[in-house]
Chain A
Amino acid sequence: MTRRSTASGGISRRRLFGLGAAGVAAVGAGAVAGRSFIEEPVAHAASSSDPVAFYGPHQAGITTPAQDRLHFVAFDVITKKKAELVELLQEWTAAAARMTQGKDAGTFGAVGGSPEAPPDDTGEALGLPASGLTLTIGFGPSLFDERFGLADRRPPALADLPAFPGEDLQPEISGGDICVQACAHDPQVAVHAIRNLARIGFGKVSVRYSQLGFGRTSSTSRSQATPRNLMGFKDGTNNLKLEDTAMLRDHLWAAPGDGPAWMDGGTYLVTRKIRMHIETWDRAPLSEQEAIFGRDKGEGAPLTGHKEFDAPDFAKKGPDGQPVIAGDAHVRLAHPDAHGGARLLRRGYNFVDGSDGLGRLDAGLFFIAYQRDPRKQFVPIQRMLAEKDSLNEYIKHVSSGLFACPPGVVDGGDYWGRTLFA
């Protein structure tokens, strides 16, 4: 049962709905809708309705050009039987392989089964195209305990993150034994995927938390314009891009000899839910906002340059003898130059979880970063930011997640996590 009907390429409303400056809708062969002041929309490699290959040496959803929508979920494993967990991973893989290609979660589908039985697909994606759906799995540190005999398979790079100054982490939306990142150009497709995986997992895993996101805040391909976070600034200008193969090799993928062999070709994921104090930010003068980021708001250029992709000149001083890019500016502290070249592949999403009951939007950035070794990448970068970044006045880290994402699923005989469990 495929659910591919006569659905057209689909119009995807992009980014920052309801926050002014509506994106221009792109039809058919999905030109990226730029914001009105971005001069030239850049073409996607494929239509936003097309499927993304599920099988490959690396998991999809990492270097895949970032889709518009996120539904991220973390599970706690509640079964005590390793065989049940492995069976679940196999069932999940089969369902993921189907759903990413625009098919139903189960073999009978939403309407093809017995009328007396609940359908094996929940049905809300009937008639919708694959919409670039990717499903990416990761295993958290808590999975590597005595329950399944995985204690000695825990990679050294999956070391618990240290506490960072200023964070206010809520345990109930942090951590997790297993995570799945669903990204798609259609929120209904991303939600459908996670909902069906959660249902397949009943009795074996329990949803710990989940997060919806929109308006990707990073570009992971040179074909994509740099999007904006909810502070209105372009985010991820200097991100790792899928075209940078040498850099991906050095900074993204776990290599033989890095750690346990089961992670070869995998990568490490760090998630941070970053609440933004939107209302106070919006009252900050433009000059202060730009000084905090170290970039101008319109173009996204470093304060020492004119174009977005100009390299920042951290040594340059202004007429007052002070650095043009302040010592506590975000771009300076996060830049590879400040960390011996350490980089992240950022793939975050904006979130607005309604309002907080105090008249404020509950909004911010669901930060997602993939890397070869968090101990050498996320941790030093975040430590410096947490200590010095002038942006801290306007943000608060409220959740944290760390996961080892295994290598890709090779073919139909393979399954998520086989290298770990086999």
Chain B
Amino acid sequence: MRTPTVLAVAALALAGLTACSSTESGSGGTTEATAAGDGKIAVAATDTECKVAKSELAAGTSTFSITNNGSKVTEFYVYAAGDRIMGEVENIVPGLTRDVVMELPAGMYETACKPGMTGKGIRGPLKVSGESKPLTSDAKLAEAVASYKRYIKSQSDTLLGKTKEFTEAVKAGEVDKAKELYPVARTYWERIEPVAEVFGDLDPAIDARENDVADGEEWTGFHRLEKDLWVKKDVKGDGPIADKLMTDVTTIVEKSAALELSPVQLANGAKGLLDEVATGKITGEEDRYSHTDLWDFDANLQGSKAAVQALRPVLEERDPDLVKTLDAKFADAEGTLGAHRSGDGWKLHTELSKDDLRALSDAINALAEPISKVASVVAR
């Protein structure tokens, strides 16, 4: 990735840290849509249902108010064709209500609740009608960037929350709880990693493996704690490492919010995430102590998909065949990976056979080749 122009970092109030804050999605990062007090669309979510009060809306800004009446943590999405995320809110714990604001042009969408925050979720149709001017190509590119930034923002908020939970568990010496939270927190990290990688020194501080660290430098971050949790089975004395991880993640989230991305960078980021899978996750090198590589694998795949789908309107216009190929190959890769689900999470890397890993490798290669063509289509 080329180094993007980083705008002056705006100080960001970490509203996302408290679970009951409302998540607001801007419409392109310029004008913030205000959540209307009334006129909200209620969504009643349970472990098996996703009742959306309206299935037809007028084009423009809408606020969805999601209440989790189930027993599992859930999330709510509105998808355009090809699972392009128009807006979403994650991490709605049982009993809570969270709002999400989104800008929806006229068209057909799908709503989805995801109890357990995995899988395709419980889908329902959503029709949005009214005036909407066809976007120019430039406007489509701008919307792609805005749409991806919304994704980064939502992932960042959850990353902060989950990292906080994880580091608190480490500091409290709750080894089992920390081990459970480790792959979950990393999921949000791995989804936004291409953005994180822009910040050269922070990325290794958060995510370096032991052999990435030069002599005389301290090894910090997720994997240091992973080794202590799984190998040493003792995190006494890791308080400073946990605090530093929280600080570094907070900094990177702040910087990401101010990052100006170009459409080509989105495309390259999508490819970069699959490269991560191909070189680190399939081999089991990433999470060599916990063997939770498949959580990272899934997150990389989702992050890649989010970036590609953000570009979808542009790709539809310029290379519809490529869109078809990408849809098919994403479905193949997700299907191949999906075979290794285990409960709300994934099998351990050590539970996969060589044939399993080869099939995953083939699926990623099959997807990464067409994804490597996206940048040149976007750059036209």
Contacts and interface: CB of A to CB of B under 8 A. Distances in A.
> At the interface, is chain B mostly helix, strand, loop or mixed?
helix
B375 A206 contact: no
Given A116-B264, A199-B369, A206 B358 contact: yes
A78 B362 contact: yes
B334 to A, nearest CB: 14
B376 A203 contact: no
Contacts of B251: none
A203 B359 CA distance: 10
Contacts of A199: 369
Contacts of B329: 203
A117 B361 CA distance: 22
A17 interface: no
Nearest to B355: A172
Contacts of B361: 206
A117 B373 contact: yes
B129 interface: no
A343 to B, nearest CB: 38
B346 to A, nearest CB: 22
A314 to B, nearest CB: 47
A202 B365 CA distance: 6
Contacts of A204: 366
A114 B378 CA distance: 11
Interface string A71-100: 000000010000000000000000000000
Contacts of B368: 202
A118 interface: yes
B27 interface: no
A202 B369 CA distance: 7
Nearest to B368: A202
B22 interface: no
B379 A203 contact: no
Contact of B376 (A114, A202, A206): A114
Interface of B: 264, 329, 332, 354, 358-359, 361-362, 365-369, 372-373, 375-376, 378-379
A114 B366 contact: no
A369 B134 CA distance: 64
Contact of B369 (A116, A203, A206): A203
Contacts of B264: 116
Contact of B362 (A117, A118, A206): A206
Contacts of A116: 264, 375-376, 378-379
A203 B365 contact: yes
Contacts of A203: 329, 332, 362, 365-367, 369
26 contacts: A78-B359, A78-B362, A78-B366, A113-B376, A114-B376, A116-B264, A116-B378, A116-B379, A117-B373, A117-B375, A117-B376, A118-B372, A118-B373, A172-B354, A202-B365, A202-B366, A202-B369, A203-B329, A203-B332, A203-B362, A203-B366, A204-B366, A206-B358, A206-B361, A206-B362, A206-B365
A224 to B, nearest CB: 39
A318 to B, nearest CB: 53
Contacts of B372: 117-118
CB-CB nearest 7 A-B residue pairs? A203-B366, A117-B376, A116-B379, A116-B376, A114-B376, A202-B365, A206-B362
B379 A114 contact: yes
A116 B368 CA distance: 15
Contacts of A118: 372-373
A113 B372 CA distance: 13
B352 to A, nearest CB: 16
Interface string A185-224: 0000000000000010011101000000000000000000
Nearest to A120: B373
Of the candidates A113, A116, A117, A199, the one having the most CB atoms from chain B within 10 angstroms of its own CB is A116
A147 to B, nearest CB: 16
Nearest to A204: B366
B270 to A, nearest CB: 13
Given A202-B369, A203-B362, 5 more contacts: A78-B366, A117-B375, A203-B369, A206-B358, A206-B362
B310 to A, nearest CB: 17
Contacts of B376: 113-114, 116-117
Interface string A99-141: 0000000000000011011100000000000000000000000
A164 B367 CA distance: 41
Contacts of A117: 372-373, 375-376
A117 B322 CA distance: 14
B326 to A, nearest CB: 11
B357 to A, nearest CB: 12
A376 B324 CA distance: 49
Contacts of A206: 358, 361-362, 365
A105 to B, nearest CB: 14
A100 to B, nearest CB: 23
Contacts of B369: 199, 202-203
